[in-house]
Amino acid sequence: MYPPQFEYIPANSLDDVLKLLDERGEEAKILAGGQSLIPLMKLRIARPALVVDINRVKGLNYMNMEDGSLKIGALVRIAQLERTKFPSQYDILRAASRQVADPQVRNMGTVGGNAAHGDPGNDLPAVFISLKSKYVVKSKRGTREIPAKDFYKGPFTTELRPDEVLVEVNVPHWDGYSGGTYLKFERRTGDYAIAAVAVQLTVDDDNRVTRAGVAFTNAGPTPLPAEEIEESIIDKRGLENLLTSAKNAFDKMKVNPVSDLRGPDWYKRDVMRVLLLRGIKTVYERLVR
Ligand SMILES: Cc1cc2nc3c(=O)[nH]c(=O)nc-3n(C[C@H](O)[C@H](O)[C@H](O)COP(=O)(O)OP(=O)(O)OC[C@H]3O[C@@H](n4cnc5c(N)ncnc54)[C@H](O)[C@@H]3O)c2cc1C
């Protein structure tokens, strides 16, 4: 199916984007990689009157380590994340990005688009939540920094206002003995997750967990931050202790995956539990000395 008629404006600068969104944000959609927007427009689920293409905007495609944090510009392609050799503290970014869709989608799809779209099946939001990242969003009114864990409000509904554009994902510093993984269970390679988990840990010289980030993909209407699980493993040492605490915390957590073609809710819950424990084991065993 063809999309209904729309106006297309390729923006040349961020100022142009902000001006257009200021004037016509309610009827506009930003076009980044187009890997979600175009299919939705062709299905006529999204019907923007104006499409603002940001692909020519300079200064949105960068990855910098600055002031101890990793800054990722919104126009970085998922394939760039996959190819970048990050310091080992950020190895979760490669682990996750290589599991997003297929190479064609990753070549076009952007970090900003994956984060901003609000699809609970998108893989990167859980990763950014587990890394305690903030999203930097801009409008003509100014700049806001929104913690990734507070950004998602419902399926395809986020904190982003119609006049705002996501310009950067800001990943804070994780010190030396830190690392993470992203485990995704899918029906076939390249599919959205049945369920997936992002686990990021820091351990001290005594092999005690001092910092933890855990979040799930496709576990309900939004990416799901799991602060209860994080708290349950902080200050713990020893794999068995960690796994017991995490399992107990998970079983008490409110987790409502949706029953659909990928499986019934009880099955997805079981998959989440297995992935969680496997993820903690993988990361902890890599970090302990
Ligand atoms: C066949 C297929 C399989 C897929 N499988 C997966 C998968 O397994 N895992 C996964 O994570 N994803 C998957 N995707 C989705 C794909 O990864 C996303 O479409 C992509 O990451 C979104 O980025 P984009 O740059 O293409 O965004 P676009 O499609 O251009 O935009 C998506 C939405 O975000 C908005 N937007 C984009 N950039 C910004 C910005 N900077 N600021 C504010 N709003 C913005 C747009 O207005 C639009 O509403 C799949 C897609 C396809 C087509």
For residues 247 and 199, membership in a common domain is answered with: yes
Do both 190 and 167 map to the same domain?
Answer: no
- pLDDT score recorded for residue 206: 96
Given pLDDT bands bounded at 50, 70 and 90, which one contains residue 1?
A: confident
Q: Based on the domain organization, do 17 and 109 belong to the same domain? A: no
Q: What percent of the chain has pLDDT over 90?
A: 96
Taking the centre of ligand 1 as the mean of its atom positions, its distance from the CA of residue 38, in whole angstroms, is: 9
Distance between CA 72 and CA 199 in Å, rounded? 20
Residue matched to tokens 């004037």: 23
pLDDT score of 121: 97
- The residue whose C-alpha atom lies closest to atom 6 belonging to ligand 1 is 101
In this structure, are 153 and 120 located in the same domain?
A: yes
Does residue 34 have its Cβ closer than 6 Å to ligand 1? yes
Tokens standing for 172? 């804070």
What's the Cα-to-Cα distance from 46 to each of 30, 156, 222, rounded to whole Å?
Answer: 12, 11, 19
210 and 261 share one domain: yes
What atom in ligand 1 is closest to the CA of residue 31?
Answer: 30
Ligand 1 centroid, distance to 37 Cα (angstroms): 7
Angle subtended at Cα 152 by Cα 147 and Cα 155, rounded to the nearest 5 degrees: 170
CA of 109 to the centre of ligand 1 (A): 6
Q: Considering the domain boundaries, does residue 58 fall inside one? A: no
| Residue 137 reports pLDDT greater than 90 | yes
pLDDT in tens, 42-94: 999 999 999 999 999 999 999 999 888 999 999 999 999 999 999 999 999 99
- Examine residue 75 and state whether it is found in any structural domain, yes or no: yes
Q: How many helices (H) and strands (E) does the chain have?
A: 11, 14
The preferred substitution site among 36, 75, 98, 165 for testing ligand 1, maximizing ligand atoms within 8 Å of CB, is 36
Number of the ligand 1 atom closest to the C-alpha atom of 164: 43
User: Tokens in use for 271?
Assistant: 């998959």
Look up tokens 């499986």; give the residue.
263
Q: What is the token pair recorded at 218?
A: 């496709």
Residues 6+ away with beta carbon under 8 Å from 11: 17, 20, 52, 53, 54, 56, 57
- How far is ligand 1, taken at its centre, from the CA of residue 114, in Å? 4
193 bridge partner residues: 186
Backbone angles phi, psi at 169, to 5 degrees: -105, 125
Nearest residue (by CA) to ligand 1, atom 2, is: 101
Supply the pLDDT for residue 176: 80
CA neighbor of 223 nearest in space, from 130, 162, 152: 152
Q: Is residue 146 part of a domain?
A: yes
Are 263 and 187 part of one and the same domain? yes
Q: Is residue 101 part of a domain?
A: yes
| One domain for residues 182 and 161 | no
Asked whether residue 40 falls in the same domain as residue 73, the answer is no
Three-class SS string for 164-202?
Answer: CEEEEEEECCCCCCEEEEEEEEECCCCCCEEEEEEEEEE
Asked if 272 and 238 sit in the same domain, the reply is yes
Tens digit of each residue's pLDDT (9 = 90 or more) over 261-281:
999 999 999 999 999 999 999
Report the separation in Å between the CA atom of 126 and the middle of ligand 1, taken as the mean of its atom positions: 15
Q: What is the CATH number of the domain that holds 137?
A: 3.30.465.10
Closest CA to ligand 1's atom 33: 117
Distance 34 CA to ligand 1 centre (A): 6
Distance from residue 112's CA to the centre of ligand 1 (Å): 8
CATH number of residue 39's parent domain: 3.30.43.10
Containing structural domain, residue 164: 63-171
Q: What is the mean pLDDT of the chain?
A: 97
**Is 162 found in the same domain as 85?**
yes
Work out how many domains the chain is built from and give that number: 3
Q: Using CA of residue 217, residue 155, residue 231, residue 111, what is the dihedral sign?
A: positive
Which of 36, 223, 181 lies closest to 113, judged by CA? 36
The atom of ligand 1 lying closest to the CA of 46 is 49
Ligand 1, atom 50, residue with closest C-alpha? 101
Q: Tell me the pTM.
A: 0.97
**The pLDDT value given to residue 64:** 95
Residues 37 and 111 in one domain: no
Which residue among 17, 26, 37, 139 is best mutated to probe the pocket of ligand 1, counting the most ligand atoms within 8 A of its Cβ?
37
Residues 183, 279 contacting (CB under 8 angstroms): yes
| pLDDT score at 66 | 85
Report which of 220, 201, 229, 219 is spatially closest to residue 285, judged by C-alpha positions. 201
